[in-house]
Structure 1
Amino acid sequence: MGTTLMTGASRGLGREAAEHLLRHHPDRHLLVFNRRPGLAAELAAVTGNRNVSEVVCDLASFADIRRAAAEVEGPLDGFLGNAGLQMATTRKLTADGFEMTFGVNVLAYHLLLNLLMPRFTNPARIVVVGSDVHDADLNTLGLIPPPRWDHPRELVKPGEDSAKEGRRAYATSKLGVIYLVHALRRRLPEGVDVYSYNPGLVPDTELSRDAGRFGRAAFRAVGKVLVAMPFATTSAAAGRLLAETMAGPRPGESGSYINKGVVVASSSESYDERREEELWATADDLCGLA
């Protein structure tokens, strides 16, 4: 019986994906990392499948990630990294003093996957959720500014107290996710595949929960309009596709970018081995792995 470790299973498309895995792949043990206890019991109750357990973990703390990773028992044949933040500012910091968006969306996964690497079986599959907003040429209707890459040591520094820059940091972090996946592919043993996954525009998520009362209300109002558009999808549909990418047939060559279940090319900017290796080496140092 295989075990899949999942982050970001408490709400939105992540919750849908977790429930789908438990309902449609009942022989797969699901281990959820969550900031607060009780999620495993919730998932077991709503799906009727008790093949789920949890480890409490705050991805904004390297010490907590190390403790949680040490609590993982047995081999892993899957990892689904869905947890991610979009902050209303670039002033908030992780417990280790790094800008929160980049710290959680990129550095946390770098540390966690490196700590877990000895536990992955052959075969195994790693999926980290990215976003099409990593593409500077994407038309986001003005909602998300394009990414602005810099040396990772600059990206982890706090920036402006600006909602626009907070959203830009999110786009930039998702470009970092693809760089991380490409670099990881070159380091994984035979039989362990890694992918970045784009769920597309999912307006009915709670990604804007840090935006404050009025920001959240505005996002919900816009979301009700966007969810009816042909280029958008619901969290239920996106969650099902994400779950099947994790548990279904091999989606493609390791390192691929998967757009709503289909392997496609990511942005031209996202293929840059120099940046990928620079990010890997810097993240090693920042995470205490060097």
Structure 2
Amino acid sequence: MLSTGITSGMGLSTARMSTTTPDWTVVATARSRARADELRTLLGDPSNFRYVVCDQADLAGIRDGDKQIVELLADPAVTPLRSIVLNAGIQTNSTATATADGFEVTFGTNLIGPHLLVGTIANALTAPVRIIAVGSGTHYGRFRRSYGMVPPPRWEAPEVLARPREGDGIRAYSTSKLGTLYWVHELARRAPRGIDALCFDPGMMPGMGLARDRSAIERFGWKYLLPAMNVLAGVSTPERSRTHLAAPETGTSPIPESDLRGGYVEIDRLVPSSDESHDEDREVELFEFLDAATGLVAEQVPAGGRPAEIGVHF
């Protein structure tokens, strides 16, 4: 298993469960070596745990990390990669902050970073592999999905969304999760048989770190009051969601593979994503923008030849 964003919450809970499975190797990305060492300690320094330094908000860092990942996959001591869990994500109050490469930080971390990570290791993947992008019910833009904590998404051209500007960072989060579904749908169309992309919505998990940039009152309510809501539909805990994520992650889901491909799993069931999340024009536009923003298009142009088909190539 390769996973991003496992230093807390559901990601950490998933890593703890996976590293107790003797025939699995967990490869994790971490923003820094210090963070990776802290994670190793939290997991109890298991023998089947590997990490690479790979900040999802830094394209050069992702490329360096991906080289290490490809080397690990070639190591006979490491079990074959069967799942990629794209769990790293960020939510801030503003859209004015930029990544190391000048992209708006939410769009850059939640969409551009995962696209480059998958794109640069695509040729090293051997079916069966499940690419699981962690989504969010906030993409629906309905009260029942966020209980008023997150405004509905507002999609614009990727060139606009990728640019730092004055704006609502919380809305940028829900918009990025709508973009995650566009990305999953297009990747599912382009990937070969046996490389299956899907979106896993772990449910709303009050108490987790996404509210760290909110006001003091909002942080208090998120951490201490809202966890009591976990009996409501669409609300969960890291432990519960971890258990259900393990099914598609390990290939043991009762949901048929043909339905999982490009599908949307909310905690433990396959459900329709929002009507707005099904827009092929937006899906193609976003995918091609991400290829260009990460430089994957240029890498696919043969010397003196015409550009290859745009997209993540396997």
TM-score by length of 2: 0.84
Within 2, Cα distance between the matches of 1:170 and 1:110? Answer: 17
Within 1, Cα distance between the matches of 2:142 and 2:276? Answer: 10
Within 1, Cα distance between the matches of 2:165 and 2:230? Answer: 31
1:39 offset after TM fit, Å?
4.6
Within 2, Cα distance between the matches of 1:192 and 1:8? Answer: 21
Pick the structure with more strand per residue: 1
Residue in 1 aligned with 2:147? 141
- Is the contact made by 1:37 and 1:56 (CA closer than 8 Å) also made in structure 2? yes
1:60-99 equivalent positions in 2, closer than 5 A: 60-72=57-69, 73=71, 74=73, 76-99=81-104
- Name stretches of at least 5 consecutive residues in structure 1 with no aligned partner: none
- Is the contact made by 1:57 and 1:65 (CA closer than 8 Å) also made in structure 2? yes
Within 2, Cα distance between the matches of 1:190 and 1:229? Answer: 37
- Is the contact made by 2:150 and 2:174 (CA closer than 8 Å) also made in structure 1? yes
- Is the contact made by 1:90 and 1:100 (CA closer than 8 Å) also made in structure 2? yes
1:225 offset after TM fit, Å?
3.7
1:158 aligns with 2:164: yes
Secondary structure, counterpart of 1:204 in structure 2: coil
1:106 aligns with 2:102: no
1:122 aligns with 2:118: no
Aligned positions, number:
281
- Is the contact made by 1:40 and 1:54 (CA closer than 8 Å) also made in structure 2? no
Residue in 1 aligned with 2:29? 33
Change (3 A) 1:80 1:218: same
1:200 offset after TM fit, Å?
0.8
Deviations 1:205-247 (A, max 9, x none): 1111233655433422342443354542111111222223211
- Is the contact made by 1:39 and 1:54 (CA closer than 8 Å) also made in structure 2? no
One-letter code of the match for 1:21? S
- Is the contact made by 2:138 and 2:150 (CA closer than 8 Å) also made in structure 1? yes
Residue in 1 aligned with 2:270? 263
- Is the contact made by 2:234 and 2:266 (CA closer than 8 Å) also made in structure 1? no
Within 1, Cα distance between the matches of 2:283 and 2:174? Answer: 16
- Is the contact made by 1:44 and 1:50 (CA closer than 8 Å) also made in structure 2? no
Higher relative contact order (CA 8 A, sep 6+): 1
TM-score by length of 1: 0.91
Secondary structure, counterpart of 1:90 in structure 2: coil
- Is the contact made by 1:78 and 1:246 (CA closer than 8 Å) also made in structure 2? yes
Residue in 2 aligned with 1:45? 44
Residue in 1 aligned with 2:311? none
Larger mean CA deviation between 80-89 and 218-227 belongs to: 218-227
1:94-243 equivalent positions in 2, closer than 5 A: 94-139=99-144, 140-160=146-166, 165-211=168-214, 213=216, 215-229=218-232, 231-243=234-246
- Name stretches of at least 5 consecutive residues in structure 2 with no aligned partner: 74-79, 298-314
Secondary structure, counterpart of 1:27 in structure 2: coil
Q: Percent identity?
A: 37
One-letter code of the match for 2:189? R
Residue in 2 aligned with 1:9? 6
1:137 offset after TM fit, Å?
3.5
Within 1, Cα distance between the matches of 2:268 and 2:84? Answer: 17
Change (3 A) 1:118 1:199: same
Deviations 1:167-210 (A, max 9, x none): 11110000000100111112212211111110111112111123
Within 1, Cα distance between the matches of 2:123 and 2:51? Answer: 20
One-letter code of the match for 1:270? S
- Is the contact made by 2:135 and 2:199 (CA closer than 8 Å) also made in structure 1? yes
One-letter code of the match for 1:188? A
